[in-house]
Amino acid sequence: MLGLPRLQIDPGVDQIKKSEGEEMKKSDVSKQVCQACEENHVQAVLKSTHERHPYKVCQNCLFNLVNHRLTRVQFKNLLKNGHKEEEFMLHSDFYDERGKALQPTRIRS
Q: Is residue 36 a contact residue for Zn ion (CB under 5 A)?
A: yes
Amino acid letter, residue 81:
N
Long-range CB contacts for residues 23-30, cutoff 8 Å, separation at least 24? 24/54, 29/56
Q: Closest CB to Zn ion among 43 and 105?
A: 43
Shortest spacing between CB 37 and Zn ion, in angstroms: 3
State which of residues 42, 58, 65, 89 lies at the interface with Zn ion (CB under 5 A). Answer: 58
Which window, 7-15, 22-30, 50-58, 93-101, contacts Zn ion (CB under 5 A)?
A: 50-58
Does the footprint of Zn ion cover residue 37 (CB under 5 A)?
yes
List alpha helices for the chain, DSSP H: 26-29, 59-66, 72-80
CA-atom Rg of the chain in angstroms? 13
Does 65 contact Zn ion by CB under 5 A?
no
Binding mask 69-98 for Zn ion (x = CB under 5 A): ------------------------------
C-beta of 6 vs 11, nearer to Zn ion: 6
CB 2, CB 31: distance < 8 Å: no
Specify whether the CB–CB gap between 67 and 8 falls below 8 A: yes
| H/E segment holding residue 72 | helix 72-80
Judged by the rule CB under 5 A, the positions of this chain that interact with Zn ion are: 34, 36-37, 40, 58, 61
